[in-house]
Structure 1
């Protein structure tokens, strides 16, 4: 994966938070909670996932500027990074 250990830890933390929030949304739907409450929590999950994705792309951009990845592989091309970024839009 793109990124150093610190970046990956931040991404994993955000994904774990989103995982917990998504479980909460499922529980809210199962218990018949108000639509407004469910949508508000679902939006929070979406933002957490977006931020994790943006962090991954940002790590890739840094590696492209440096010219090497943490694991010694060639960095992603500008076109590949743009494609990744646009998948989050």
Structure 2
């Protein structure tokens, strides 16, 4: 599997992860402040959605780069596609 080479994509992912980290800190504070469970769950769902967006972005970017790299290097494309699909399936569980 490949690494993230595009600096814009890398920066966007890091920004998303920092935002998620901030939301987690907010939930911790909400728990300390005895906020209602429904309020906590709304924030947890927002984090879950954000994490899914990060994961899907990584899967998409990785799939494109790995497949193109395999074509360029003359590797067995079927093996690469199987690796990409396996990674996507693991994420979707």
TM-score range, shorter chain: 0.7 to 0.9
2:6 corresponds in structure 1 to: 4
Structure 1, gaps ≥5 residues long: 69-73
RMSD: 2.0
TM-score (normalizing by structure 1): 0.79
TM-score (normalizing by structure 2): 0.76
Paired residue total:
83
Name segments (4+ residues, structure 1) moved above 3 Å. none
Structure with larger Rg: 2
Considering Cα pairs closer than 8 Å and 6+ residues apart, tell me whether 1 or 2 has the greater RCO.
1
Structure 2, gaps ≥5 residues long: none
* Bigger helix share: 2
